[in-house]
Amino acid sequence: MNAVKNGGASIQALVALPTGTNTAAEYAITIAATDISASAGLALTTAHVITSAAAASTAITTITAAESTLNTFLSKLGAGAKRVEIQRAFTDKLASAIEIGIGNLVDADLARESANLQSLQVKQQLGLQALSIANQAPGSVLSLFR
């Protein structure tokens, strides 16, 4: 995509997904294309022949206008690039926060499951001890009859 040639395409960065009746354009950063080619966009040609003060003045006016057009476009391009960079940094921070949040959820689940496992192991051990005690009781009663 070339935003600086004749018929170039605008640069568009999507900052959010459109929802409902909204369009992608409402959620995008757009940097408009501008033709900065010497002959068409900046109106600079080799036809300027400086043979007099008036011709030199006309050439200087043309060059000044071309410089102004170029500076304006470069300012818009720089501002758009900065907005895209800010959005990228925000997206990176958001992705990092989401990843940390998911990690915390997984860690919390692991801690809970570990506690559940220990609880079940203690219940199993208590059950085995209760069964052992229950098995000893009939033997004690039978030993009284001997």
Tens digits of residue pLDDT in 118-132 = 999 999 999 998 888
Question: For the residues of 60-107, what is the DSSP string, one character each?
Answer: HHHHHHHHHHHHHHHHHHHHHHHHHHHHHHHHHHHHHHHHHHHHHHHH
Among 22-26, 90-94, 105-109, 130-134, name the most confident range: 90-94
Q: Is there a domain that residue 66 lies in?
A: yes
In a domain, residue 2? The reply is: no
Give Dmax over CA atoms of the chain in angstroms: 140
In a domain, 114, yes or no: no
More confident residue, 122 or 110: 122
Does residue 123 sit within a domain? no
Domain count along the chain: 1
Identify the three-state secondary structure at position 125: helix
Which residue range(s) make up the domain with 41?
A: 11-94
- Per the confidence metrics, is the pTM higher than 0.85? no
Res 123: pLDDT: 94
Instruction: Classify residue 32: in a domain, yes or no.
Output: yes
For the cut 70, the answer to whether the pLDDT of residue 63 exceeds it is yes
Q: What is the pLDDT of residue 66?
A: 83
What's the CA gap between 115 and 1, in Å, rounded?
57
Specify if 85 maps to a domain.
Answer: yes
> Is 5 inside a domain boundary?
no
Let me know if residue 104 belongs to a domain: no
> 14-24 pLDDT, tens per residue?
667 667 777 66
